[in-house]
Amino acid sequence: MSEPTIKSVRVLTVMGNFEWPIVKVELSNGLVGYGECHRGPGIKEVLRRAEELIRGREVNVEYLLRLVRKHIPNSEWGVVNNAISGLETALWDLKGKLTGLPVYELLGGRVRDRVAVYADLHAGAGITETGGKRWVELASTEVAYNVENYVRRAREAMGMGFRYIKFDVDVPENMMETEFDRTVGMKVVKFVTSFIGGVRDAVKYDVDIMIDGHWAFSVPTALAIARELARYDVFWFEDPVPPENIDAMMEVRLKSPVPIATGEKLYRLSQFRELIGKGATDIIHPDVQRLGGLLEMKKIAYLAEEYYVPVAIHNISSPIGTMANAHVAATIGDFIAIEWHAIDLPWWPDMVREGMIIRDGHIIPPKRPGLGVELNERVAIDHAKDQGEVKEFLQ
């Protein structure tokens, strides 16, 4: 009996708290695999070209990925890889379903049964990019930047079983003269870090606190913030300066009194080679839905292990991408936690038929074949960005 072959590659962009481009690959025997891409321009075009390249071929992930990379321009780095990442995951899901194995087995097998998750709490109020306005803009500044609300959100996450929580320090943006400035005085530095002091006082050491800077600062401002954060024993200071200049990141890392985490904007093993090889970060924080896929994440994790650099995973995905991250994380030796950004989005769990995949601050990757979760198409369609895409997705 001949092996089933690839029939179609489809994408549906779902409007969650961020855009979630969901990839669906169907085989000639009707089997369906899912993956997810990090949002970005041109994903649909790349996947259309990829479909032309892989249609009619068997599910050999290594071969298909090399084929797509060789024939799609600019696939070495950059946003083309957002699309390739979702495609790659959908192929692993299919390979698992064809062989009867969970994806973590295909990636070498588990070193942990359950994977820790950390809750991104943003500020005293949540944040979303979709729907035109950010939630912090909708919430009053008093609500978003109020220490009681920071503490309330920290306690809420701890009550759900999370052992790691994260807040931002690059807001409120109107504290800068313009949105393009990177340097602020000590009054602002003290203000944005004061909330973290309030949280630490309230929660003591029952939870580790991470801080995100979203590449907002100059080297001197980043270091001023890091020195304040050291008073509160934060677990990491993420993306203190822009990502393109690895030497600047290295300078911050060498002078910062708190550990630095970075990597969510980088692509492929090649960009992580420079970051890790130069010793520019204490912790890597890659985005698997962007960097090139699950196998690429494994290669990066092996490299990081050579330098004793632990791995955490940046994640703003639906449960599809989040579960894919849990499968690869289960196979990584020195792993901290996967991000979860949707504590304020009540229908996040409904995106898959299995319901809530995070319990007690952890994900247990299922032993079922493939990713072990199935897209709830009804929910995805209800929140689709473009109804024209829905028709195509269902074909």
Q: Does 339 bind Mg ion (CB under 5 A)?
A: no
Instruction: Write the single-letter amino acid at 153.
Output: R
CB neighbourhood size of 231 (10 A): 13
CB neighbourhood size of 298 (10 A): 17
Q: Which is nearer to Mg ion, 212 or 389 (CB)?
A: 212
User: CB of residue 328 vs Mg ion: minimum separation in angstroms?
Assistant: 19
The helix (H) or strand (E) run that includes residue 153 is: helix 147-159
**Separation CA 77–CA 344 (nearest Å):** 32
Question: Any residues with CB less than 8 A from the CB of 6 and at least 6 apart, and which?
Answer: 25, 26, 27, 28, 51, 54, 55, 56, 57, 58, 59, 64
Pick the stretch among 78-86, 144-152, 204-212, 241-249 that binds Mg ion (CB under 5 A).
Answer: 204-212
Pick the stretch among 12-20, 140-148, 205-213, 361-369 that binds Mg ion (CB under 5 A).
Answer: 205-213
Residue numbers 37-66 binding Mg ion by CB under 5 A = none
Instruction: Identify which of 329, 30, 2, 255 has the alpha carbon closest to the alpha carbon of residue 340.
Output: 329
User: CB of residue 316 vs Mg ion: minimum separation in angstroms?
Assistant: 9
Q: Residue 236, SS3? A: strand
Among 93, 168, 212, 296, binds Mg ion (CB under 5 A): 212
Q: Which is nearer to Mg ion, 97 or 153 (CB)?
A: 153
Q: Which is nearer to Mg ion, 6 or 154 (CB)?
A: 154
Residue 160: C-alpha distances to residues 23, 175, 205, 338 (Å): 30, 33, 17, 15
Write the Ramachandran bin of 42: left for phi over 0, alpha for psi from -120 to 50, otherwise beta: left
User: CB of residue 182 vs Mg ion: minimum separation in angstroms?
Assistant: 16
Pick the stretch among 95-103, 189-197, 209-217, 322-330 that binds Mg ion (CB under 5 A).
Answer: 209-217
Q: Which is nearer to Mg ion, 64 or 336 (CB)?
A: 336
Q: Which residues pair with 6 in a beta bridge?
A: 27
Nearest residue to Mg ion, scored by beta-carbon proximity? 212
User: CB of residue 15 vs Mg ion: minimum separation in angstroms?
Assistant: 21
Pick the stretch among 58-66, 130-138, 181-189, 212-220 that binds Mg ion (CB under 5 A).
Answer: 212-220
Pick the stretch among 100-108, 211-219, 269-277, 298-306 that binds Mg ion (CB under 5 A).
Answer: 211-219
**Separation CA 242–CA 265 (nearest Å):** 10
Q: Which is nearer to Mg ion, 212 or 350 (CB)?
A: 212
Residues that bind Mg ion (CB under 5 A): 212
